[in-house]
Amino acid sequence: DTGVSQNPRHKITKRGQNVTFRCDPISEHNRLYWYRQTLGQGPEFLTYFQNEAQLEKSRLLSDRFSAERPKGSFSTLEIQRTEQGDSAMYLCASSLGQASGGYTFGSGTRLTVV
Amino acid sequence: DQQVKQNSPSLSVQEGRISILNCDYTNSMFDYFLWYKKYPAEGPTFLISISSIKDKNEDGRFTVFLNKSAKHLSLHIVPSQPGDSAVYFCAASRGIQGAQKLVFGQGTRLTINP
């Protein structure tokens, strides 16, 4: 078990381009979460999945954002037509149900939109 | 609408002394609280949690206190060690059994001085 893996670690893109991030959770974890963190702030919830079902989406997740977890294993987060305000650290986390021990975060993907 | 607040952006403590980090929340529907620790270039790491049916939880050098009437929680680290230098986030969730969607505070940067 290598923990939660996120790829890529860093992504620099030009405004208007599309980007996709991948998250591989801990294998037996059925819940997967996406958060976004900007400088000086705590992580903000974006969305979460239980198995392949997307159960909740934040209003932060505009129609340019889409997340999938097609087989209940890895997940992708796509941002279309990126804007400079999308520059942030995108964090993925996973858990087995409602985890009394919190959930396990990956190291994140840092997105810079230029 | 900041539902979870950490009013001290930074804290500096002498090695061996007690570190006390504070957190306030406004939403009375929260019933599960967690502390995470974050080093640069890594995702947050779960530290300790407490459900609203308790007022104290202890794990080694770390103790979390919950005052529901004041909507306040604190993390005590005794004795503080240089490796404790990191950013600490408190987080809150609904669901007494464990973490679901988390709402994070802005974080407090703790520096332990030798």
> A43–B89: do the CB atoms touch at under 8 Å?
yes
In this complex, do B99 and A99 lie within 8 Å of one another by their Cβ atoms? yes
Residue A84 dihedral angles phi and psi, to the nearest 5°: -60, -30
| Contact: A33, B105; criterion CB under 8 Å | no
B100–chain A nearest CA distance, Å: 6
Query: Which among B45, B42, B14, B37 is positioned nearest to B87, based on CA atoms?
Result: B37
In the structure, what pLDDT confidence band is assigned to residue B94 with cuts at 50, 70 and 90?
confident
Kind of pairing between the strands at B4-5 and B19-25: antiparallel
- SS3 at position B79: coil
Q: What is the pLDDT of residue A2?
A: 73
Q: What is the pLDDT of residue A1?
A: 54
Q: Looking at beta carbons, which residues of chain B come within 8 Å of A56?
A: 101
**What percent of chain A is predicted at pLDDT more than 70?**
97
B106 in contact with A, Cβ within 8 Å: yes
pLDDT (tens digit, 9 = 90+) per residue, B14-54?
999 999 999 999 999 998 999 999 998 899 999 999 999 99
Residue A102, both tokens:
């919190």
Q: Which pLDDT value is given to residue A71?
A: 86
Residue B82, token pair as written in the block? 């240089």
Question: From the candidates A41, A61, A107, which should be mutated to test the interface with B, based on the most B CB atoms within 10 A?
Answer: A41
pLDDT band for position A102 (cuts 50, 70, 90): confident
The pLDDT tens digits for A11-69 are 999 999 999 999 999 998 999 999 999 998 999 999 999 999 998 899 888 899 999 99
B10-14 and B108-113 beta bridge pairing: parallel
pLDDT value for B3: 94
For residues B69 and B21, what is the distance between their CA atoms, to the nearest angstrom?
A: 18
- Give residue for tokens 């969607």: B101
CB-closest option in A42, A102, A104 to B107: A42
Question: Is the CB of residue A101 less than 8 Å from the CB of residue B46?
Answer: yes
- Chain B residues with beta carbon closer than 8 angstroms to that of A99: 98-99
Name the residue among A98, A108, A56, A46 with its Cα closest to residue B39: A108
Contact B107 A100 (CB under 8 A): no
| Residue B99 pLDDT | 62
Residue-wise pLDDT for A51-65, tens only, equals: 999 988 998 888 999
DSSP single-letter state for residue A30: -
φ/ψ (deg, to 5) at B82: -55, -35
**C-alpha angle with apex A90: B50 to A78, nearest 5 degrees?**
130
pLDDT value for A34: 97
